[in-house]
Amino acid sequence: MQCREVSRSAVYRLDEEAYILSVERRGLWLVAVAYVRSQTEKEVCYQVVLKLRPGTRYFVGRCECPDYKYRGGPCKHIVKAKVALREYLKMAKQTR
């Protein structure tokens, strides 16, 4: 996905590096769809899906980048998406 397109529908952005597209409650989980800019291809953003249990530190993340596919483990995009989501939730709490 091109970052340019992502940024149009983002509800939150962190330093033009990470974008939050949606956050919704699904049962016990909070599910967030984010896009994080690639380090190697500057116009490309990878989709990161984060699921977390509010009130706990438990979360699972999935990223579409080659690094994640290859290693099957957390990549830097997931880490960045998590930071952006934390900031977004902080902001959402303040405006409520």
Chain positions contacting Zn ion, by CB under 5 A: 63, 65, 68, 75, 77
CB nearer Zn ion, residue 54 or residue 66: 66
CB nearer Zn ion, residue 13 or residue 93: 13
Shortest Å, Cβ 75 to Zn ion: 3
Distance CA 57, CA 47 (A): 22
Shortest Å, Cβ 93 to Zn ion: 27
In degrees, rounded to 5, the angle at the alpha carbon of residue 16 between the alpha carbons of residues 26 and 50 is 20
CB nearer Zn ion, residue 32 or residue 56: 32
Distance CA 19, CA 71 (A): 24
Shortest Å, Cβ 6 to Zn ion: 15
Dihedral angle of Cα 6, 8, 12, 13, to the nearest 10 degrees: 60
